[in-house]
Structure 1
């Protein structure tokens, strides 16, 4: 399938990347787990896993229940997402480009042999070893930098950098359980307002209240299973509700760098029209 890019993950950064690649002519297949845990649900395509489809800035992503349906939807010109956390479909699809945008701060099994061009998003990858290149995701001077040799900013340094940014406040789950969301994303909330309930083992219910007033920028999907320490909500006292409905500046920056890396790689490949077909086939096989 020409111009196919497979993206591991369906969260905020993965969605920004998929959105840009799709709107510049690429076919995009996203691979997610059965219960995605992205909290900014208005701007992520992973919501299609729950609802069948999800739209972000006039672009719609559709869920496929199997690879056959995914191929059909791709040929019809759609962004497609399906449950395949281990990327088993790569053996059949053989895409030229694989982007790991799971953003788990560690490598979840992506390696260079998965595709001719492999791109890792954020920390956890070694450019030139695990993947072809890495995109820096830490805010600051190097945000969006394409790294061809080395690593992105380590997680410890990333956490320290984020600690300096006090505009938003994350709420993490105090224990394992199932979430009952109380408000939709972009809801304006007051301090100490009840925003969710956590159903835990033994039938107990814990109330989740906000420590500050602001805008509910993100919230996990209702009935989503959560583990201790998982981010379940985010409150931003400085943003506007409308900003929760569009792709962030960080996602736009990172997605632009992914597009640049793909085009740069494509421009380095030999043109089929300039070589006899048997030489072209051999070069493609060697690459």
Structure 2
């Protein structure tokens, strides 16, 4: 398809913008694509993405990425985004900021799936016809139209009023193991690692260096998540996740939690159709 045809189609398609490139955002992008939306994923550098085998994140580095039959491709501008979305079963992954992206046209649906537990979330309601907030720090009618709980005990619950639960610092259990399966950064600095996701590592094996200091595998198991080599990681974020489940370990595709949250997002759209209202760019 020619660029002019791609641009014309871009202006008329059902557009969903998903903020974030992590595994939850990627599950949402897969399900929205299956529901007939054309999806652009807007990258945010915080927090670093670790479950990259379940995410479209590495498309930002021009790596070939496919999640559940959907291909992610990097797109740096309007023409590139339009060209990607003109193809079937594709999502565009862009380093453009949300404001740069929405300057091209308004979104029908905007989903904030960045999972930023410690940062304030601005009001995005004027930027799309329907805005959905996933995770902590969302208040319906304040910074989103509808919210999705992500806390393990209430994952997938839709909120049409009130606020989502505040983060409690308790990691959901995987194979009977909670927070202790993660390695966290204790300072800010450059992260370097030669280890690939999917590798088996013993406990205490040095999987990388952060700000020059060694980071060891907290438990024995398969590397389920690993911040990409060469990224800057601030203090207090997850660098490594180990899956202790042996043959049942999972590090690619869509996991149960991601599917549950993505399906909740689709339910939110079906129960509250997009509204015609003035938006900032459109």
Q: Is 1:119 matched with 2:132? A: yes
Counterpart for residue 72 of structure 1: 83
Give the alignment of 1:137-152 within 5 angstroms.
137-140=150-153, 142-152=154-164
Counterpart for residue 215 of structure 1: 222
3-state SS of the aligned residue for 1:186?
coil
Counterpart for residue 233 of structure 2: 226
Q: Is the alpha carbon distance of 1:33 and 1:45 closer, same or farther for their aligned partners in structure 2, counting shifts above 3 Å?
A: same
Q: Is 1:253 matched with 2:253? A: no
Unaligned 5+ runs, structure 2: 1-11
How big is the shift at 1:170? 0.9
Structure 1's consecutive aligned runs of 4 or more residues displaced over 6 angstroms after TM superposition are none
Counterpart for residue 271 of structure 2: 264
Cα-Cα RMSD: 2.3
3-state SS of the aligned residue for 1:232?
strand
Counterpart for residue 87 of structure 1: 99
Unaligned 5+ runs, structure 1: 270-283
Counterpart for residue 186 of structure 1: 198
Q: Is 1:21 matched with 2:32? A: yes
Alpha-carbon displacement from aligned partner over 1:134-163 (angstroms, at most 9, x marks no partner): 0000112x210110101111113xx24648
Contact 1:182 1:194 (C-alpha < 8 Å) held by counterparts? no
Q: Would you say how many aligned residue pairs link Structure 1 and Structure 2?
A: 264
Q: Is the alpha carbon distance of 1:163 and 1:35 closer, same or farther for their aligned partners in structure 2, counting shifts above 3 Å?
A: closer
Q: Is the alpha carbon distance of 1:285 and 1:252 closer, same or farther for their aligned partners in structure 2, counting shifts above 3 Å?
A: closer
3-state SS of the aligned residue for 1:256?
helix
Q: Is the alpha carbon distance of 1:4 and 1:81 closer, same or farther for their aligned partners in structure 2, counting shifts above 3 Å?
A: same
Contact 2:243 2:249 (C-alpha < 8 Å) held by counterparts? no
3-state SS of the aligned residue for 1:195?
strand
Counterpart for residue 20 of structure 2: 9
* TM-score for both structures, normalised by structure 1: 0.84
Alpha-carbon displacement from aligned partner over 1:186-220 (angstroms, at most 9, x marks no partner): 2111111121122x3xxxx3221123211111101
How big is the shift at 1:50? 1.4
Alpha-carbon displacement from aligned partner over 1:175-196 (angstroms, at most 9, x marks no partner): 2221121311121111111211
Alpha-carbon displacement from aligned partner over 1:70-125 (angstroms, at most 9, x marks no partner): 12221233210101234332132211110011110244434211111000001111
Provide the C-alpha distance between the structure 1 equivalents of 2:64 and 2:45, rounded to a whole number of angstroms. Answer: 15
